[in-house]
């Protein structure tokens, strides 16, 4: 599991862990006790996240898309990103 992998990393049983960048970043901030650092970008492993809505719920999809477009346009998205991430997530 992810929990076992990072525990083994902290205890020196592993030299590295390859995992989702967001998951590792969260673990490093909350639980790593400063033992580790992220290095490099692994190419070809990018995953995209999305918001799922029911296929027939066009109104909700349009509202979500409009809200995302609005926060990108007014700079709110960049402020949120800068607060929580040290890399571009969009």
Tens digits of residue pLDDT in 21-80: 788 888 888 887 888 887 766 555 555 667 777 878 889 889 998 998 999 999 999 998
pTM above 0.85, yes or no: no
Residue 78: alpha-carbon gap to chain centroid: 15
pLDDT at 39: 73
The greatest distance separating any two alpha carbons of the chain, rounded to the nearest whole angstrom, comes to 51
| Domain limits, the chain | 1-41, 50-90
CA-CA distance, 17 to 36, in Å (whole number)? 10
According to the model, what pLDDT value does residue 40 have? 66
Q: Please, how many CA atoms are within 13 Å of residue 4, restricted to the half-sphere of its CB?
A: 1
Residue bearing the bigger pLDDT, 85 or 10: 10
């Amino acid at each position: 599991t992810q929990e076992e992998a990072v525990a083994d990393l902290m205890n020196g049983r592993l030299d590295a862990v390859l995992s989702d960048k967001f998951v590792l970043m969260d673990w490093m901030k909350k639980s790593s006790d400063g033992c580790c650092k992220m290095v490099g970008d692994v190419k070809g492993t990018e995953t995209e996240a999305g918001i799922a809505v029911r296929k027939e719920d066009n109104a909700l999809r349009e509202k979500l898309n409009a809200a995302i477009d609005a926060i990108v346009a007014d700079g709110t998205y960049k402020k949120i990103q800068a607060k929580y991430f040290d890399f571009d997530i969009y």
